[in-house]
Structure formats: structure tokens, C-alpha cells
A and B are shown apart, each in its own frame.
Chain A
Amino acid sequence: MKNGLIISLVFLCIAASNITKHYPNYFPKPNYELNFSSNTYDLTQLGRALFYDPILSANNTISCASCHSPYNSFAHTDHALSHGIHDSIGKRNAPALINLAWQKELMWDGAINHLDVQALAPITHPGEMAESIENIIDKLQNNKLYPPLFKKAYGNSLINSQRMLKALTQFQLTLISDNSKYDKVRQSKDTFSVQENKGYKLFLKHCNSCHTEPLFTNYKFENNGLSIDSQAMDLGRFNITKIYKDSMKFKVPTLRNVGYTYPYMHDGRFKKLSSVINHYTSVNKEYKYISKELNHKILLSSHDKSDLISFLTTLNDRDFIFNPQNKFPRKILLQPREISN
């Protein structure tokens, strides 16, 4: 009896620890319900398999991870614009997929309203994965690998678009980056160097109004004074709202893991952080519809710029980048997977 009580108490504690918050207490409340308990482990693994599996593209060559690599904080380093099927080039830079639970709208222009339906955009885009949802469901049903994975995740092997999309959502919600040096300093486990501290003060003065800590974005759409790319003619948020003052507004990206996510801006036009900072110190304030946050002149000496970059590197989260839980699921995807029947 007593033993039984102890066992059930231990069980309760394990259950309770499973549903504890998976993010620091200085993070705001997320927009999605986070459930990383043992109950959702199989759902996460299914989502992870789908994320890394090129089966989601028309000719089975492109996966989500093709443009969202774990080693680049799920962005695409060295590629200014996203690459898709048959070597097509997109018109935007693949953003980092981290801390998505806090995003209200997705994509650079906020075209997508929910993480579940985000995957539909690259999957069906003729220059990205060029596949239909119908075909994917068919391919998954006829692939030896997936019916058992869906069964593990959902209790039975029914495969439909909702189940596929929700599994992708679950995996992407687990991609929380919260263990950078900045976080360790906030948690009093580490301290900033003198230079980092100087950079932090400059950051708070000049950058924090849009790249607001602790997520380092306010998730708003802003016009940061970039000239329009004459080839892509991408007007950003205007394409969604059709309001003139929204032209050339793009979502403020997070600066977490900024060292892993170059090149920068919606079209990847800047290769280095120093070019980004130089843009903000030289931007033309007369530019039409420019963000009011950029109305004051940002004056930075070359020392200031180095200090600022030194602070920005404290936002890199090495533990996240090398977390084996986020990587290609070899055990699942490298199984023999000939098509059944």
C-alpha cells in the first residue's frame, strides 16, 4: 500500500515534470499550446521525419530542411534567396525557424496565419516543392515507413492532411532557442564581458524598440528603409493588406542565432552583420513610409559597431544548433522504405 503510494507519487512527479514550461520565465506567454510531454513524443518524431523527408516535394528531392538547416538555426546560410525544385530560385531569404510558438503571423509579409497551414505554401509553390497535398497523402499512405509512424503518433494509421500538418507543427514548436550566453546572463549563470556589456547598452538604445528582448523581435512589420529590389519587385506586407503605407514593410526577424543565419534581410542582400549595422547608420530618413523607430539618427563609432556585434554574438545558442533532437532522424529515415503493394 505504502509502496504503491510512493510509486504513484513518483509517477505524478514525472508527469508533472513533463508538462513544465520549456522556456525561460522571462519569455512571454506563447500563442500556441506547448505540450512536450511523453504523450507527444511520437507526434514530434513524426513531424521531424516529415520535416526532413523530401517525399513532400514533387520529385522527392526537396525537404523542408533543404532551406531550413538545423546548423543554420533552421535558416539557409550562404543563400541569399531560397532554392527550390529543379534549381529554381525564390524571391526571399529563408528565415530561421525558432521560437515559432511566439509568432502570430508567419512569412516575411505575414501571409500565413497559423503554423499548421504554413507548410502548405512551400509544398505547393511551383518553385519550391511543387507538390499537391493529395499526392503527398497518397505517397505517405503507400510508403512503408509512414502508416506505423502515424499509428504511433495518433493511435491509428489514418493519414490525412490535418494529421500531417499538425505533426509538422508539433516538431517546429519544439524548436525553442533559449540557451544563448544572453540567456545564461539573464539567469545569472554567466556575465557579459566589458565589450558585450557596452554593446548591450547600445543595443537597448538603438535596436531594442523593434528587435525587442527577450525574443529579439516585436513580430511587427516595419519598413527599415531598404530600397526595393528591382528584380523581385517585392512590396512585402503591401501584398497582403493592399495598403500603400505597408509597402516595403517586412516582419522584424529575431536576432537570436544571428551569427548562424547570414545573409540578412528579406532578400539576403547583406552578407555581414557589419553591413547591416552600416545600413542603419546611413539609412535615408526621407524614405517614404520608413518606420518611425528609425526617425532619429543612429550614430555609431567603429568601436561602437564592434561592441554591438560583440553583444549580438551572445545571442548565438550553440546548444540549440547542435541539439541532436533537432537533427535529421537517421534511425527513422534511413530505414529501408520501398513502396508497399
Chain B
Amino acid sequence: MKRCFLVILWINFFFSDILGQSHIKFEPTYESNLLILDSTYSDQTKITSIRFYIGHVKLLKDSQIMFEQPSYQLMDAELPETLTIQTPTNISYNKISFSLGIDSATNNQGALTGDLDPQNGMYWTWQSGYINLKLEGESKQPFTYHIGGYLIPFNTYRTVTLPMTFNKVYLPIDIILQEILTVKSKIMSPCDIAMKFADLLSESFFTDL
């Protein structure tokens, strides 16, 4: 059994070596497992949508940058392939840093395309600015969290740095909801509570260490 596992692991490494690529995966979790959308959990909570922007991903060995991807990626739990960031295989690292959300300079650039196309539904049309994270679902009552804002004092852009040796970054949705549901069930504009939610989100990410 153990041998079989090793062989699979070896094949895995072998093929990623050929392609010269590996990846980092962002996984929203619920009750310590990969989040399944639209499934009702034991606490009667159902998540219908979670989407967020991850950008400026850096893999570091101590303080040396081994890999950097300055662009933004729209991650959507409904489309698992969007949760993955491709990285080279031939690097070792012990730290990851990334941003949650879109920085102020990018917010001021006018019409953009690709993952930053306003058509993706992650842009406020009535007040300029990207929505950095959308979390929607129900827990006894419906909840809607659209967290964004790039202007001081409501700049919800956050940078996260975590130790990391393997390739997964987890976002525990159940723990975040425990904190926020009792405070507010709807956040849909840049404001004080959106700032607190952004702090909570950026502190909730964890890795395999």
C-alpha cells in the first residue's frame, strides 16, 4: 500500500517535472473538508457562492523571492480549475505571500479585461471598485457578503504571508461565518464592517504548517 502511494507520488513528480510546472491550490474548507457548494452542513448552513481575487503571489525561501506572479486571478469555488496557480517545479520555498483583493492602483486603471473584466460580476457599477470577495449562502437566514473598497479609510485590500512547504492554502469558511454571522448578514459596500471582515479573512487563511 505504502509502496503504491510512493509510486503514485513519483509519477506525479515525474510528470510535473516534464511539464516543468507545479501548482499552488487555494481551498475553501468547511468543517475541515473541502467546501462543497449548495450542500447543507450539520449547522444548517449552505454556501451557494464563494469567489475572490488572489494576486501578487510570491513564493519565498526565507526572504528570497523564488517565484512571483504579479497578476490577479479570480477564484471561484464553482470552477475548481480557477483555484489553482501554476508555479515552476524546480524551486524550493518555505513561505508564501499573496494579496486578497485588488490594489488601489489597479482599481484606478479604467476598463480592464480577462479576470478583471467588470462582466465577471466582481465590480461595483454604481461606485467604482472591485469586489474583492463574494460569499453568499444561508444559515437560518440568507447572508450576502460583498467585500471591497480601495479608498482610504475603507481600503479592504489585504496582504497575507504564511509559512508553506507543500502546496495548499486553506480558507476555513465555517470559522469565518461563526465570527461574522452574529454581527451582520449583509455587507455590500465599502464601510467599517467590510474593513473588519477583510481583516478576519486575511487572518483566517492557513497552510499545511
Bound pair (A, B): yes
Number of B interface residues in the complex (CB < 8 A): 20
A residues 111-159 with Cβ under 8 Å of B?
111-117, 120-121, 123-125, 133-134, 137
Task: For chain B, residues 112 to 130, give those with C-beta under 8 angstroms from any C-beta of chain A.
Answer: 112-113, 117-119, 123, 125-129
Asked if A230 lies at the interface with its beta carbon under 8 angstroms from chain B, I say no
Closest to A165 in B: B111
Verify if A204 is at the interface (C-beta below 8 Å from B).
Answer: no
| Chain B residues closer than 8 Å to A112, beta-carbon distance | 127-128
Please indicate the chain A residues that have their CB under 8 angstroms from the CB of B108 in the complex: 113-114
State the CA gap A111–B151 with chains docked (Å): 11
Interchain CB contact under 8 A, B128 and A111:
yes
Of A111, A114, A115, A160, the residue contacting B113 (CB under 8 A) is A160
Given A113-B128, A117-B128, check contact A133 B110 (CB 8 Å).
Answer: no
Contacts of B125 in A (CB 8 A): 117, 120-121, 123-125
Residues of B within 8 A of A (CB): 107-113, 117-119, 123, 125-129, 151, 154, 191-192
| 8 Å CB contact of A161 from B111, B127, B154, B192 | B111
State A137–B111 Cα separation when bound (angstroms): 14
In the complex, the answer to whether B118 meets A114 with C-beta atoms within 8 Å is: no
Bound Cα distance A266, B4 (Å): 73
Cα distance A134–B121 when bound, in Å? 10
A298 proximal to B (CB < 8 A): no
Closest chain B residue to A109, Cβ basis: B127
CA of A86 to CA of B112 in the docked complex: distance in angstroms?
Answer: 31
Distance from B141 Cβ to chain A, minimum over Cβ atoms (Å): 24
The verdict on A240 contacting chain B, using a C-beta distance below 8 Å, is yes
B125, B127, B154, most chain A CB atoms within 10 A? B125
Of all chain A residues, the one with the shortest Cβ separation from B112 is: A162
Contact A114 B128 (CB under 8 A): yes
A242 within 8 A of B: yes
